Amino acid sequence: MQYLLLIYDNERERMAMSQEELLPMYRGYFTLRNDLEAAGKYVGGNPLEATETATTVRVRNGKRTVTDGPFAETKEQLGGYFLVEAKDLDDAIDIAARIPGATFGSIEVRPIRPLAKLPD
């Protein structure tokens, strides 16, 4: 079963971190990704650019509105994600607890809902 692990943290605080603080974190991500791949649990994952680069799109009555943002108004923002194959929720929680961001931000664990095949 697949789980999406959404990594939330305070983006301003993270960006203010020094190189010495960031380096072990990057290493942690690198090791985790390698371990997950070796265990056949890695499906995908990426860090995201800052919320300043975000764009919101809505379509109402066929009309498209595109706006800048959302910005970092809430305390924590989505900063990256992993998509993993896990045995069950406990397995997914174990993986989430190894994400370096979990030590200063939080990880939201969401099961992927399998889609039924559409009729041809």
- Contact residues toward other proteins (CB under 8 A) are 1, 87-90, 93, 109, 111, 113-117, 119
Choice between 60 and 113, CB closer to other proteins? 113
Cross-strand pairs, 111: 3
Q: How far is the CB of 74 from other proteins (least distance, A)?
A: 22
- Residue written as tokens 């045995």? 87
Q: How far is the CB of 20 from other proteins (least distance, A)?
A: 31
Choice between 13 and 94, CB closer to other proteins? 94
Tell me how crowded residue 22 is: count the other CB atoms within 10 A of its CB: 13
- What is d(CA 77, CA 6) in angstroms, rounded to the nearest whole number? 10
Q: How far is the CB of 114 from other proteins (least distance, A)?
A: 5
Choice between 62 and 114, CB closer to other proteins? 114
The answer for residues whose C-beta is within 8 angstroms of residue 60's C-beta and 6 or more apart is none
